Structure formats: structure tokens, C-alpha cells
Amino acid sequence: MSAQPANCANCSAPLARAARFCAACGTPVQSGDTVRAEVPPNETGPVPVTVTQTTPRWFGLPPPTVLFVLAILLFVVAVVLLVLSAWVAGLLLLGLALLFAAGFLEAGRRKPDTPIVTASIGAVDSARARAGYTAQAYLTRSSARREISRRRGEAMRLEGERGKLLGQLGAAVYAGAAGAAERDAISALDERIAELEREASEIAAGAQERVQAARRQVQPTEIRTPDGD
């Protein structure tokens, strides 16, 4: 903190309280030298400090166990009504069961109240992750198969053209010609066929790598200790 001088440093005129400039000569008022405040050596508040943790309360949301039981009961009653051909009531109760199930998942993730809720939420999350992995793996492999089939189909078509060129080359050589044009065409076809096979192999390897990466995300973490420990 700083203290204001009583008189102007330039003309020694008295200064008003909290004045920024001298009223007599207009010289800015110096704030004075900074005074260092010493830190108290000991804690001045209550010691030791007590840490209080507030328990979260979700107002308007029943406990997860209650929501889980209601969802199961509504689902069973909805199935019975659907079997009895009471479609309207059955579908309404089925929608309520799904609503309660969604509320159970949300409340269970925020504040699980029993080990059963924790295990149920973990099982649902694991099943969802595995379903996502299965869908992603299916789409990845299907896309890769289509791309590979397209390239191999083109390669088979080029193999047919290559066979025709070989026949033309044989006829030209038999007639005493060099067959340079046929040789160049066959060489170009061989390069294109090799390129298509290389692309197919790269697509298969890339798809396998993506599937393996998605699988690692859903696999449980394993902790292995070094040998001898």
C-alpha cells in the first residue's frame, strides 16, 4: 500500500486529501513509496481446516432403483396388454417404460444408489459400446469389400484383354512381325493389374486396422504386473 504526501513536492503547498494534482502549481501528486505488508507468520483463521463435501441432490428425480423397478413393471404390463391385443394401452405403457428406463440411466450415471444400479449402468454402457463397435466394423468391412470387389472385377476384365493381346502378339510373331505395339499394351495392362491388386491389399489392411482400433476402445483394460512381481 502507499501513503499520500501532505505537501506538494514542487511548491510545498498543502495538498487536499485524495488530490491527484497540486492546486497551486498543477504538479502531479506522487503516491509516495510503496510500503510492504508483512505476511502473518501463523494462520489467523480456525485451525485445522475442516473440509465439508456437499452431497448432490437431484430434485424432482426419483432414485435410480425406483425408476428401474417402474420401468420393468411397465414393460411387463405393456407386453401382457400387447399379447391381449390391447394395442393402444400397450403401446402407451411401452412408451412410459422406455421413458422411465431413460430416466433410470440418467439418474444412475449421476448418482447410483445401489451396487445393482452401478452394475446395470455398466452393462448397458458396455452393450452400447459393443453394439457401436459391431455396427462400425460391419460398415467398414462392407465398404472395404465393395471397393476390393470393384478393383478385382476391373483386374479380371483387364486379364481378358491381356489374353486377347497375347493371341494377337502370337499371331504377329508367327507372321514375322516384332509385335511392339502388342508388347507395350500388355506391359501397360500388367502395370495396371498390379496397381489394382496393390490398392485392394491396402484397402483390406486399412479396414482391418480401423476395426482393430475400434475393438481396442471396447475391450476392458487389463493390468499386468511384470514377471517376478
pTM beyond 0.75:
no
For the chain, what are the domain ranges?
A: 1-29, 64-113, 132-218
The DSSP call for residue 13 is: P
Higher pLDDT, residue 121 or 73:
73
Confidence of residue 1 (pLDDT cuts 50, 70, 90): very low
In angstroms, the Cα distances linking 195 to 36, 92, 184, 212 are: 78, 59, 17, 26
* pLDDT digits 0-9 by tens, 147-172: 999 999 999 999 999 999 889 888 88
* N-term to C-term CA, the chain: 60
**Which region holds residue 45: left if phi is over 0, alpha if psi is between -120 and 50, else beta?**
beta
Residues 6+ apart with CB under 8 A from 162: 186, 189, 190, 193
Total Cβ atoms within 10 A of residue 8: 21
- pLDDT of 213 higher than 70: yes
Confidence of residue 119 (pLDDT cuts 50, 70, 90): confident
In angstroms, the Cα distances linking 2 to 27, 114, 129, 156, 206 are: 18, 60, 63, 91, 70
Which residues are 77's β-sheet partners?
A: none
Contact by Cβ (8 Å): 24, 11: yes
* pLDDT digits 0-9 by tens, 42-85: 656 665 666 666 555 555 567 788 888 888 899 999 999 999 98
- pLDDT for res 121: 80
Across the range 127-154, mean pLDDT stands at 89
Percent of the chain with pLDDT over 90: 24
- pLDDT for res 67: 82
